[in-house]
C-alpha cells in the first residue's frame, strides 16, 4: 500500500470546488463528534459512528474530511473555541483564570487530556485562544520564552490535576463506588498498614494530613497559588 502523502493542516487546504455543496459544515461535524466523545470517550468515536449519528453514511463524512486525524483537529479547535476569553488587570489574575479555565474545560471534555499534547495545533479558534493567553503577561515586557515557560507551568499543573481527577472518577465508576465507599471498603487493609509500624510517613498522611480529605476545588486552588508564587519568584518584575 502506498504511503499517504503528508498534507498541511485542514484549514490550509482548499475546499472542494466541484460537486454539490456539503449539507453539513465542518463546525457541525466537529460539534457532533464532540458530543460523542464526551459521552463515549474518544475510543467510541469512529467515522461510521459519526456518520450514523448525523443520519448519513461513512462516505459522506469522508467527503468532508480525509481522516480521523482531521476530525480530531477540528474537534480540538471547536472545543477550545467554547472558552470565553476574559481580560485581566494583572498577570497573576490572568494566570489564575487560565489555570481554572484549563481544569474546568478538561473536566467538561476529558478526551482532550489525551490529545492536546500530541503535536502542534494551529486551528483558527485555537490560535485566537493562544494569542489571548500569551498576552496575559504582556505587562511585564518579558522575553517570549519566559512567558511561554510560565504559561507552560500553569498548563502542566492544571492538566495534570484534571487528569488525576478524571482517572479517579473513571476508576471508581468501573467498580461502582463513591470515594467514601471505597475508603470504607479498604479501611481494614489501611489499618493493618498503620499498625505494622513499617511506614511512618504514610502513617502521618493518614493521621495528620488534611490534603487527602480536601475538596478537589480547594486542593486545586491551594496548588495553583503555589505555582503562581513560583512564577512570581522566578520572573524579574513579577510580583
Domains and CATH numbers, the chain: 10-80 (1.10.10.60), 91-233 (1.10.357.10)
| Amino acid 106: pLDDT | 94
pLDDT digit string (tens) for 97-150? 999 999 999 999 999 988 865 555 678 999 999 999 999 999 898 999 999 999
> Can you tell me whether residue 143 is helix, strand or coil?
coil
> Distance of CA 112 to CAs 116, 197, 219, 224, Å?
6, 42, 22, 21
pLDDT band at 233 (very low <50, low <70, confident <90, very high): very high
Lowest mean pLDDT among 28-42, 178-192, 214-228: 178-192
CB 106 within 8 A of CB 159: yes
Residue 56 DSSP code: S
**Each residue's pLDDT tens digit, 42-77:** 988 888 888 887 776 677 677 778 888 889 999 999
Kindly state the helix (H) or strand (E) to which residue 28 belongs, with its residue range.
Answer: helix 26-40
pLDDT at 2 over 50: no
pTM, full prediction: 0.83
Give the dihedral of Cα atoms 59, 32, 103, 218; nearest 10 deg. -140
Residue 114 is predicted with a pLDDT of 81
Amino acid at each position: 500500500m502506498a504511503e499517504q502523502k503528508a498534507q498541511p493542516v485542514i484549514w490550509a487546504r482548499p475546499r472542494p470546488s466541484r460537486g454539490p455543496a456539503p449539507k453539513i459544515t465542518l463546525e457541525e461535524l466537529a460539534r457532533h463528534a464532540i458530543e460523542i466523545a464526551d459521552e463515549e470517550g474518544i475510543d467510541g468515536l469512529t467515522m461510521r459512528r459519526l456518520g450514523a449519528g448525523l443520519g448519513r453514511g461513512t462516505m459522506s463524512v469522508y467527503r468532508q474530511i480525509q481522516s480521523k486525524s482531521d476530525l480530531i483537529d477540528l474537534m480540538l479547535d471547536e472545543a477550545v473555541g467554547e472558552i470565553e476569553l476574559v481580560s485581566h488587570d494583572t498577570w497573576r489574575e490572568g494566570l489564575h483564570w487560565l489555570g481554572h479555565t484549563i481544569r474546568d474545560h478538561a473536566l467538561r471534555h476529558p478526551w482532550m487530556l489525551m490529545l492536546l499534547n500530541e503535536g502542534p495545533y494551529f486551528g483558527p479558534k485555537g490560535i485566537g485562544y493562544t494569542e489571548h493567553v500569551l498576552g496575559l503577561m504582556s505587562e511585564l515586557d518579558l522575553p517570549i520564552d519566559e512567558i511561554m515557560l510560565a504559561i507552560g507551568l500553569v498548563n502542566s499543573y492544571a492538566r495534570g490535576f484534571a487528569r488525576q481527577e478524571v482517572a479517579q472518577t473513571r476508576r471508581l465508576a468501573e467498580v461502582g463506588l463513591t470515594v467514601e465507599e471505597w475508603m470504607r471498603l479498604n479501611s481494614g487493609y489501611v489499618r493493618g498498614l498503620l499498625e505494622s509500624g513499617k511506614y511512618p510517613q504514610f502513617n502521618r498522611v493518614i493521621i495528620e494530613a488534611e490534603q487527602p480529605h480536601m475538596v478537589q476545588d480547594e486542593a486545586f486552588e491551594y496548588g495553583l497559588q503555589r505555582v503562581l508564587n513560583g512564577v512570581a519568584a522566578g520572573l524579574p518584575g513579577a510580583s
